[in-house]
Structure 1
Amino acid sequence: MKCFALVTLQLLCVFLIKMIVDHYRPWHEILDYGQLAYATQEIFFYASGVGTLICIAAA
């Protein structure tokens, strides 16, 4: 249980840092320059992280 709590805490810290970094990168620049692949990676990153947290919580 302690291990799962530490893993969850680490994932939350990574998400917070990633959200702060992404907040300061304007989305219009990403989409204007045709970097749709980057936007897809962002969506995949957040979706897989949420899925991981759900799996940890269910265990």
Structure 2
Amino acid sequence: MDTLIADPCGRRDRAFLLFLARTGAWVSEAAGVNANDLQLEWPHPQVLLRGKGR
């Protein structure tokens, strides 16, 4: 994770945009994701997204 944050070549931004595109998440939903919201077990990785509650 530190590598993504420190990389000046835009890897972090690319990873964030790919995450948005592949999950269909809004920016506000994706910004609220933390490590406890990720389940990365193969073959079904999942992420818990929380919206506004509407």
Which category describes the TM-score, using the shorter chain as reference length? 0.3 to 0.5
Bigger relative contact order, structure 1 or 2 (CA pairs below 8 A, ≥6 apart): 1
More helix by share: 1
More strand by share: 2
Q: What TM-score do the two structures reach when normalised by structure 1?
A: 0.31
Q: What TM-score do the two structures reach when normalised by structure 2?
A: 0.34
